[in-house]
């Protein structure tokens, strides 16, 4: 053997400056929380405490919403082309400081630096550029005479793509003339706090962007605030249902982007090596903490054995470890809670009778880690075949015919995304026509573009983010 080991190549943490303690960002400045309560945000790869963040209570939320109401007075008088300028400035500043944001994202959330550097941050900047361009063209978007913003918008974002989800929500909301109260996830607030500093730096009028940190109780206060005109939420289906119930009977707009259990369908006439790559990317990207992850592999029965053998060999080359190592493919699981959830579901899969393959690798002593895993021999009634695991765990099912593939793919409460692998163009179109999924990739996976709308069917939510359609989530159009 001529093994060639890659030496560690660590991205320096020195570029980021993390405060010991953070307040909320309200009315253009950082303020101490009324609650006087804080919670630690830790690095999931080392369990080291990075900082303390404020927990927002009812009064904090009220303060933030009122600031956004005040901010709206000024923001609605700001011309669309001026709004556009602020967004362009933010986009450029994000680009300039992208290295800093990327390191912070990987430290706080556990994702590999190569992903935060090469995927998250470029996408974030692109989203701001894209919606900056729309700000003065909104009346053209729908052939509508009148399009009005909602007003004060509450936005609650998840921990898997913290800054990217901020950009999906904040950029279109501000472009369309709304003001924002944003609540980032409790485990990953740091990049949003740094973004708040940029808002100050570009001179965004006070109260236009407000940030309130905290846990679920803070989010609940935001949803239930009387002056909120619209809630945009990305997260779990159970929380989405709770929000929808809370808002029932109120004149509050709502868009939800929730869970998924996407089918990645591999036909026997696919380019198998490339399909293996796509399946690996589909489930192991960002440790599988991806709502549109291709978590159900549907492979045609006659190629099952060869495909699984190729897949296992490829999985074995994944490099699990320090998120700041530039050669890391799989980072840390975002939190202890999430790790427990993944572990329990995988244990259940084994006791149900699923056959588990995990790669051989050494996991770091501290932090939260899970080996990339593959289940075969799974039946449709196993929990691992239906429930969103939100971790690096792929479940394999087989099919015999295209009809059966579609039937199995749609046999889920979710409908966010799907993948199709075949060299035959006609088969791609036939299959895509029949899948209930908001995004369908063919011979690729996890490709994003700010111009392309994203969102789900069924319990994966409603409303679209990105593209022209994404504007509709933040305006009321009439003619």
Partner 1 sequence: MNTNLSMNNIVDWTTTSDLVGNVKVDQVGVLDRVSSLATRSIKRESKLDALEKIVSMCDLTTLEGEDTEGKIIQMSSKAMSPDPNDDNVPSAAAVCVYPALVSTAKKIVKDSNVKVASVSSYFPSGQAPIESKISDTQFAIDEGADEIDIVINRKAFFEGDYKKVYEEIKALKDVCGEIHLKTILEIGELKTYENIKKASVIALCAGSDFIKTSTGKISNGSSREACLIMARTVREFESYGYGMRGIKVAGGIKDAKDAIRYLVIINEELGGSWLSSDYFRFGASSLLDDVLKQIKKLKTNAYQSSYYFPRG
- Residue 313 Cβ, how far from partner 1 at the closest point, in Å? 9
What's the CA gap between 329 and 271, in Å, rounded?
23
199 catalytically annotated: no
Residues linked to residue 462 through DSSP beta bridges, in sequence order: 256
Catalytic residue among 221, 291, 388, 465: 291
Catalytic residue among 257, 387, 459, 465: 257
Distance of CA 326 to the CA centre of its chain: 22
Containing 478, the helix (H) or strand (E) segment is strand 475-478
| Rounded to 5°, angle at Cα 161 from 117 and 167 | 85
- Residue 422 Cβ, how far from partner 1 at the closest point, in Å? 9
Token look-up 């190592």 returns 325
Give how far Cα 304 sits from Cα of 219, 267, 399, 400, Å: 44, 10, 9, 11
End-to-end Cα spacing for the chain: 72
- Residue 44 Cβ, how far from partner 1 at the closest point, in Å? 22
Q: Give contact residues for partner 1 (rule: CB under 8 A).
A: 1-9, 114, 118, 269-275, 277-278, 281, 309, 317, 326-327, 423, 443-444
The stretches of 285-360 forming alpha helices (DSSP H) are 304-316, 336-352
What's the CA gap between 370 and 375, in Å, rounded?
14
Give how far Cα 403 sits from Cα of 265, 429, 458, Å: 12, 13, 20
Q: Give yes or no for a contact between 32 and 15, defined as CB atoms under 8 angstroms apart.
A: no
Give how far Cα 279 sits from Cα of 123, 184, 255, 310, 333, Å: 22, 30, 29, 11, 20
Q: Give yes or no for a contact between 59 and 32, defined as CB atoms under 8 angstroms apart.
A: no
What's the CA gap between 206 and 70, in Å, rounded?
8
Q: By C-beta, is 309 or 366 nearer to partner 1?
A: 309
Q: By C-beta, is 288 or 461 nearer to partner 1?
A: 288
In whole angstroms, how large is the CA radius of gyration of the chain? 22
Q: By C-beta, is 5 or 145 nearer to partner 1?
A: 5
Containing 50, the helix (H) or strand (E) segment is strand 49-54
115 catalytically annotated: no
Q: By C-beta, is 93 or 270 nearer to partner 1?
A: 270
Q: By C-beta, is 269 or 302 nearer to partner 1?
A: 269
Q: By C-beta, is 59 or 319 nearer to partner 1?
A: 319
Closest of 369, 283, 388, 284 to residue 110, by C-alpha: 369
Q: By C-beta, is 8 or 29 nearer to partner 1?
A: 8
Active-site positions read 257, 291
């Amino acid at each position: 053997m001529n093994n060639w080991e890659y030496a560690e190549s660590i991205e320096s943490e020195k570029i980021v400056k993390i405060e010991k303690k953070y307040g909320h960002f309200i009315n253009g400045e950082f303020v101490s929380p009324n609650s006087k309560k804080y919670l630690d945000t830790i690095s999931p790869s080392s369990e080291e405490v990075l900082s303390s963040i404020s927990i927002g209570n009812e009064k904090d939320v009220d303060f933030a919403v009122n600031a956004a109401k005040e901010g709206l007075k000024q923001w609605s008088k700001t011309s669309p082309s001026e709004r556009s300028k602020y967004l362009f400035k933010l986009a450029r500043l994000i680009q300039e400081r992208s290295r800093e944001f990327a390191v912070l994202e990987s430290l706080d959330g556990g994702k590999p630096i190569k992903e935060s550097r090469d995927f998250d941050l470029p996408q974030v900047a692109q989203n701001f550029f894209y919606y900056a361009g729309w700000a003065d063209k909104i009346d053209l978007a729908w052939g509508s005479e009148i399009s009005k913003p909602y007003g004060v918008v509450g936005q609650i974002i998840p921990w898997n793509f913290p800054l990217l989800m901020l950009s999906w929500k904040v950029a279109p909301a501000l472009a369309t003339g709304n003001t924002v109260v944003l609540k980032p996830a409790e485990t990953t607030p740091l990049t949003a706090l740094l973004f708040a500093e940029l808002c100050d730096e570009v001179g965004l009028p006070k109260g236009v962007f407000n940030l309130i940190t905290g846990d679920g109780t803070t989010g609940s206060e935001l949803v239930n605030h009387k002056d909120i005109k619209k809630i945009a939420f990305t997260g779990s289906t159970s929380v989405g249902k709770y929000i929808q119930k809370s808002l029932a009977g109120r004149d509050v707009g709502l868009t939800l982007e929730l869970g998924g259990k996407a089918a990645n369908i591999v036909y026997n006439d696919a380019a198998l090596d490339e399909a293996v790559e796509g399946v690996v990317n589909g489930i192991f990207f960002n440790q599988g903490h991806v709502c549109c992850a291709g978590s159900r592999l549907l492979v045609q029965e006659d190629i099952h054995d060869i495909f699984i053998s190729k897949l296992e060999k490829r999985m074995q080359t994944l490099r699990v470890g320090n998120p700041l190592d530039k050669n890391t493919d799989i980072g840390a699981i975002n939190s202890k809670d999430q790790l427990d959830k993944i572990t329990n579901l995988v244990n259940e899969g084994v006791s149900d009778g699923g056959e588990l393959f995990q790669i051989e690798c050494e996991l770091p002593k501290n932090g939260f880690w899970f080996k990339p895993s593959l289940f075969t021999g799974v039946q449709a009634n196993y929990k691992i075949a239906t429930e969103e695991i939100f971790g690096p765990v792929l479940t394999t099912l087989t099919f015999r015919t295209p009809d059966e593939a579609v039937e199995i793919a749609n046999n889920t409460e979710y409908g966010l995304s799907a993948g199709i692998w075949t060299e035959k163009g006609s088969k791609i179109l036939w299959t895509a026509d029949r899948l209930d999924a908001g995004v369908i990739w063919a011979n690729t996976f996890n490709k994003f573009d700010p111009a392309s709308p994203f969102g789900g069917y069924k319990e994966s939510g409603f409303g679209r983010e990105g593209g022209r359609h994404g504007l509709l989530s933040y305006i009321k159009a009439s003619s």
